[in-house]
Amino acid sequence: MSKHRALFAAAALAAPLVLAALPACAQQTNLRIFVGGQQRPDVMRKILDLYQSRTPGVQVEVEVGGATSDQQQQYLNTVLTSHDSAIDVMLIDVIRPAQFAAAGWAEPLDSYLGSERDAIMARYLPAYREANIVNGKVIALPYFADAQFLYYRTDLLEKYKLQPPKTWEELSAAAKTILAGEKNPNLRGFSTAGAPIEGTVCTFLVPMWGAGGQFLNAQGKPDVGTAAGKKALQLWTDLKASGVTPANLAEIVTDRIRVDFQSGNLLFAMQWGYAWNRFQNDGDSVVKGKTNVVPLPGFAGNQPATCIGGWQIAVSAYSKHKQAAVNLLKFLSSPEISKMQAILASHLPVFAEVYQDPEVLKVNPWFQFARNVVVTGRSRPVSPDYPEVSEIIRTNINAFLAGTRSAEQAIADMNTRLTRVYR
């Protein structure tokens, strides 16, 4: 029973006559928010408890679903295409606002934000402000930022007197030295996403951008068959051939990288921000105090790149409680909650100033440089057809990593099919 209802019931028992004086309080709004398993529903619950304590008459239930960005979206596709009003608010990946806007799934927020609209949007880091405004309309508000970093085992690098690698070449050499020295059959050198999931799009784009490539050429057409695209795939071929990556890289989903690293079986991991908190706090983590984070490596002579990620909060166009949902959004997308998430979940802030907060830096010392990584990171292609773009890239990269498609075939197939999407 809610606090409010409990009070109401107690009042009813003690003094039935007073009841008639309380009808306005009896109004109760129930909201439901959809969150993926990887976005710390436990932390969301704590945040919502705080909201409920400050907002009498509103109860928010958390619905958790989907272990990957794609699975979450599959679920939302079903709910939203059937115009189901059961979900009021949903977390959506940073790649999705354009798709949500085109499908009419997210309630545009402009009229709710009113005269505060521009001031509210101006507070966010530019990449997140831009990602959430589609054709001039505010489609969602940022919840947390994200980027991929290189996590590494400080104890093992120190043992072999090695510095954290700045290039992929150094990473490969360090991994070979340590794997040969450790002779631990469970230890793998480096892992990243390889399964046919959203994260695998970045497994291609990061080294392609890092080799100087662009997703679209000057004419706005996909351009992945360049020397940079080939160099990206050659990197994974070489790391696999030298036994640095796990043999089953084509099965690795995002959260599996975290599990492998925190059980002590990975030396280097290309992973998103949330993993840090899990490494430090999970009961089964054996890497607490033996982990550090640095920017991803690049190729010698080129600027390193990273993929921008992150999660946004949208109001369903089919919600029956839109104003209450927008009120909740404003709270969830505030500096106060960004700080709370940073401390409880190492979710990267969407506000520049939260990166500097001493309490945030105390638990996440690497946030010192993380803001710059986020600000200089690259966005995946922005398009209402992004689901198709993603599917073309991730299935080809997955087949290439599984060894069922050559690098040439994967690149040729991506180029042909992406060109059709961007015609």
Binding site for ligand GLC (CB under 6 A): 38, 69, 93-94, 146, 198-199, 254, 272, 309-311
Inter-residue contact 148 to 272 (CB < 8 Å): yes
Burial class (CB in 10 A: 0-12, 13-18, 19+), 391: middle
> What b-and-e string marks burial along 148-177, b requiring 16 or more CB atoms within 10 Å of the CB?
bbbbbbeebbeeeebebbbbbeebbebbeb
Q: Give the whole-angstrom CA distance, residue 277 versus residue 294.
A: 15
Inter-residue contact 158 to 120 (CB < 8 Å): no
For the bound state, the minimum distance from the C-beta of residue 185 to ligand GLC, rounded and expressed in Å, comes to 28
- Number of other residues whose CB lies within 10 A of the CB of residue 284: 8
In the complex with ligand GLC, which residue's Cβ is closer, 151 or 272? 272
In the complex with ligand GLC, which residue's Cβ is closer, 36 or 165? 36
For the bound state, the minimum distance from the C-beta of residue 216 to ligand GLC, rounded and expressed in Å, comes to 19
In the complex with ligand GLC, which residue's Cβ is closer, 179 or 307? 307
For the bound state, the minimum distance from the C-beta of residue 146 to ligand GLC, rounded and expressed in Å, comes to 3
Q: Which of 193, 197, 202 is nearest to 69 (CA)?
A: 197
For the bound state, the minimum distance from the C-beta of residue 172 to ligand GLC, rounded and expressed in Å, comes to 24
Strands across the sheet with 89-93, in order? 58-64, 29-35, 89-93, 308-315, 141-147
For the bound state, the minimum distance from the C-beta of residue 389 to ligand GLC, rounded and expressed in Å, comes to 13
For the bound state, the minimum distance from the C-beta of residue 357 to ligand GLC, rounded and expressed in Å, comes to 21
In the complex with ligand GLC, which residue's Cβ is closer, 254 or 262? 254
Tokens at 84, concatenated: 């189901």
**Torsion on CA atoms 134, 137, 141, 146, rounded to nearest 10:** 20
For the bound state, the minimum distance from the C-beta of residue 93 to ligand GLC, rounded and expressed in Å, comes to 5
DSSP type of residue 55: S
DSSP type of residue 171: H
In the complex with ligand GLC, which residue's Cβ is closer, 38 or 341? 38
Inter-residue contact 14 to 308 (CB < 8 Å): no
In the complex with ligand GLC, which residue's Cβ is closer, 211 or 253? 253
In the complex with ligand GLC, which residue's Cβ is closer, 133 or 178? 133
- When CB distances to ligand GLC are compared, the closest residue is 309
In the complex with ligand GLC, which residue's Cβ is closer, 149 or 318? 149
For the bound state, the minimum distance from the C-beta of residue 413 to ligand GLC, rounded and expressed in Å, comes to 22
